Amino acid sequence: MARWGTALLCSGPRPRAVILAVAGLLVTACSGPPSSTHSEVYPQVEFPFDRAVRKALAEVPDSKLFSVVLRQVSSPEPAWRTEVATKDGTVHLVRIDATLGRLLSTAVPADQSPEEKARTAALVEAAKVLPEEAAEKVAAKAMEDPRFGKVTEVRLMQYRMERLVWSVTVAAIAPEKTHTYQVDALSAKVVDSRTSETTS
């Protein structure tokens, strides 16, 4: 489970405090002179990804997370698109309001072949690290980089066809930037990262 905590990252004679929320971890970092950008990314997202994951898992008994993605981020009503998989690899799509946490819809996509189900079941079963643990590992990077904002995507995938990872994406305080981290789903080690432009 994600844990709440605080950390102080300040240096210089007159530090300024900025609160960053990543995977349920509150981080207090230092900033320079006041900027014209907001200090909080996607302020309308009040229901974080880890709570959306727990809600989706509760809707589909005996399931595990496959992916969760924040959608409609530019609208007043953003939503979490969550995919959870049962033991046989059947994926259930659960949509959750990202502001109030209301259940919006549940569905089982019809185009799931036996091969796809088998692959999904194998991936989910092989993951030993929980998605919340992967996000917490990424949150620890906020101790090194004050540009962090909010987790917007967590996805289980094979990275470069050889390593099972949780791909964790964070929308940064710096405008129009996201940081994506590949966290080994067996060891919880961050094995790679990249920065890209934000897309709505």
Q: What is the pLDDT of residues 108-121, one digit of tens each?
A: 999 999 999 999 99
pLDDT of amino acid 174: 60
Q: Please check whether residue 89 lies inside any domain of the structure.
A: yes
How large is the average pLDDT for residues 87-113? 96
d(CA 64, CA 123): 11
- Whether 64 is covered by a domain: the verdict is yes
Share of the chain above pLDDT 90, in %: 55
- Going by DSSP bridges, is the β-strand pair 190-197/8-9 parallel, antiparallel, or unpaired? unpaired
Across 81-85, average pLDDT: 97
Q: Which helix (H) or strand (E) holds 183?
A: strand 177-184
Is residue 27 included in any domain, yes or no? no
Which DSSP category does 162 fall into?
T
Total domain count, the chain:
1
- Picking from 73, 83, 22, the residue whose alpha carbon sits closest to that of residue 53 is 83
In a domain, 9, yes or no: no
Inside any domain, residue 147: yes
User: Residue 9 above 50 pLDDT?
Assistant: no
**Is the pLDDT assigned to residue 8 strictly greater than 80?**
no
d(CA 67, CA 135) in angstroms, rounded, equals 13
Q: Is the residue at 166 inside a domain?
A: yes
| Domain boundaries, position 44 | 39-200
106 within a domain of the structure (yes/no) = yes
pLDDT at 198: 63
Chain centre distance of CA 60: 20
In the predicted model, is pLDDT for residue 17 greater than 60? no
Residue 189 falls inside a structural domain: yes
Percent of residues in the chain assigned helix, strand, coil, to nearest 5: 20, 40, 40
The rounded distance, in Å, linking the Cα atoms of 186 and 129 is 6
* CA separation, residue 75 to residues 35, 167, 168 (Å): 24, 25, 22
| 20 has pLDDT over 70 | no
Evaluate if residue 49 carries a pLDDT over 60.
yes
d(CA 17, CA 29): 6
